[in-house]
């Protein structure tokens, strides 16, 4: 196999970062002895840490510590010193494509676009139809003759993360070794969220039906939401909102019997861990941004005569999410 120094310029969001893991694995399988570096926004670094197919991660925030011209010259100088042979750029970005050009990387591969296509040495035609994001990114690696063996994405946790998850669960009140089901009620915009009263009733019904503990997960910003759900429940859940980093969250998911989640970054982590997952979809399209993890996954979405995907943030109805019933979720678990 050819030995190369390969740079992958990542996208900017957590879910999309999981979507590129099959791409990274395909590169590694084809260039086994090559040195693979990923340039990524700092917020996505944790998703990629521990991935055995990556040799190096460079955190690059062009609006943060690399905002100044001097700092940008420093990153260009560093990339030059790495003597990279090939760079794949996974997002349309003039500034980042310019970075590769100035770093004198001889082979620069990306999808053709008006913004930055003129700076690429290989312009891959954009797909003529909408694809799942995983397949969209894999199109770039296929353009250089690599055929992926597996298209499922993955998320890696360590034994240390697992021990940390055990400690957090025990502190939350879960008996050692006890089974539990995770409910992840957050989402990066309100229209993707199932009503909190539905989550509360679902938790109560799960406890009645399965006699199993409920764990609520989420970020710091979801604390009020999770407390609101807990407040409506007689059988109180274990609240882990704001108490885990992404790796420990993945380790919690790994131990769960099921994860029930809105379309969100944590939903994709659960899919990457391959924990049995029930994913609640409303305004977004599972065929474009749905779970692609290869494990047991049941997607619940109702046809309410709305165009999907829908980005009408002013929508007051949210009938696409409200149309999914508690009974629908319970049926999916049986």
Tell me, yes or no, whether 196 and 125 share the same domain.
no
pLDDT at 293: 77
- What Rg do the C-alpha atoms of the chain give, in angstroms? 21
Helices (H), 20-132: 21-30, 45-48, 69-81, 94-102
Average pLDDT over residues 298-307: 89
Query: Closest Cα partner for 259 from 182, 152, 180?
Result: 182
Q: Is residue 59 part of a domain?
A: yes
Determine if the peptide bond prior to 81 is cis (ω within 30°).
Answer: no
* Site of tokens 């994860």: 259
Helix 94-102 vs helix 69-81: crossing angle, to nearest 10: 50
Are 122 and 180 part of one and the same domain? no
pLDDT of residue 317: 81
312 pLDDT above the threshold of 80: no
Given this model, what pLDDT does residue 1 score? 52
123-179 residue pLDDT tens: 999 999 989 999 999 999 999 999 999 999 999 999 999 999 999 999 999 998 899
Q: Domain check: are 97 and 64 in the same one? A: yes
323 and 176 part of one domain: yes
Cβ-Cβ contacts under 8 Å for 229 (sequence gap 6 or more): 183, 185, 196, 199, 200, 203, 216, 237
Range of the structural domain that residue 243 is part of: 163-333
Residue with tokens 């969250």: 249
- 182 CA to centre of own chain: 17
> Which residues, at least 6 apart from 314, have a Cβ–Cβ distance to it below 8 Å?
none
Position 125 in a domain: yes
CA 166-298-52 angle, 5° bins:
50
Please report whether residue 15 resides in a domain: yes
Residue with token string 């629908």: 328
- Does residue 157 lie within any of the structural domains? no
pLDDT value, residue 303:
86
| Residue 214 belongs to a domain | yes
Per-residue pLDDT band for 56 (boundaries 50, 70, 90) equals very high
Query: CB within 8 A of 96, min separation 6: which ones?
Result: 9, 39, 62, 89, 116
Shared-domain flag, residues 74 and 31: yes
pTM greater than 0.75: yes
Structural domain includes residue 150: no
What tokens were used for 314? 């002013």
Assess if residue 149 is contained within a domain: no
pLDDT confidence band for 2 (50 / 70 / 90): low
Model pLDDT for residues 224-248, shown as the tens digit of each residue: 999 999 999 999 999 999 999 999 9
Return the higher-pLDDT residue of 144 and 15: 144
């Amino acid at each position: 196999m050819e030995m190369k120094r390969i740079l992958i310029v990542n996208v900017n969001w957590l879910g999309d970062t999981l979507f590129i893991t099959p791409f990274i694995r395909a590169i590694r399988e084809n260039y086994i002895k090559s040195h693979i570096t990923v340039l990524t926004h700092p917020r996505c670094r944790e998703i990629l840490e521990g991935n055995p197919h990556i040799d190096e991660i460079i955190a690059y925030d062009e609006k943060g510590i690399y905002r100044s011209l001097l700092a940008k010259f420093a990153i260009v100088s560093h990339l030059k010193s790495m003597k990279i042979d090939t760079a794949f750029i996974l997002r349309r970005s003039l500034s980042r494509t310019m970075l590769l050009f100035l770093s004198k990387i001889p082979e620069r591969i990306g999808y053709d676009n008006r913004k930055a296509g003129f700076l690429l040495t290989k312009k891959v035609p954009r797909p003529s139809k909408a694809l799942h994001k995983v397949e969209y990114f894999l199109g770039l690696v296929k353009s250089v003759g690599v055929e992926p063996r597996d298209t499922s994405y993955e998320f890696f946790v360590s034994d240390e993360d697992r021990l940390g998850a055990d400690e957090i669960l025990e502190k939350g009140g879960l008996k050692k070794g006890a089974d539990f089901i995770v409910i992840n009620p957050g989402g990066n915009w309100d229209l993707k969220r199932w009503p909190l009263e539905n989550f509360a009733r679902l938790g109560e019904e799960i406890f009645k039906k399965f006699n199993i503990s409920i764990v609520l997960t989420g970020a710091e910003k979801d604390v009020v939401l999770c407390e609101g759900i807990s407040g409506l429940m007689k059988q109180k859940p274990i609240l882990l909102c704001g108490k885990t980093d992404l790796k420990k969250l993945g380790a919690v998911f790994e131990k769960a019997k099921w994860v029930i989640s809105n379309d969100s970054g944590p939903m994709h982590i659960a899919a990457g861990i391959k924990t049995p997952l029930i994913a609640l979809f409303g305004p977004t399209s599972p065929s474009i941004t749905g779970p692609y993890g290869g494990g047991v996954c049941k997607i619940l979405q109702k046809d309410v005569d709305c165009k999907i995907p829908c980005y009408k943030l002013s929508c007051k109805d949210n009938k696409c999410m409200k149309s999914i019933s508690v009974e629908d979720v319970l049926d999916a678990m049986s």
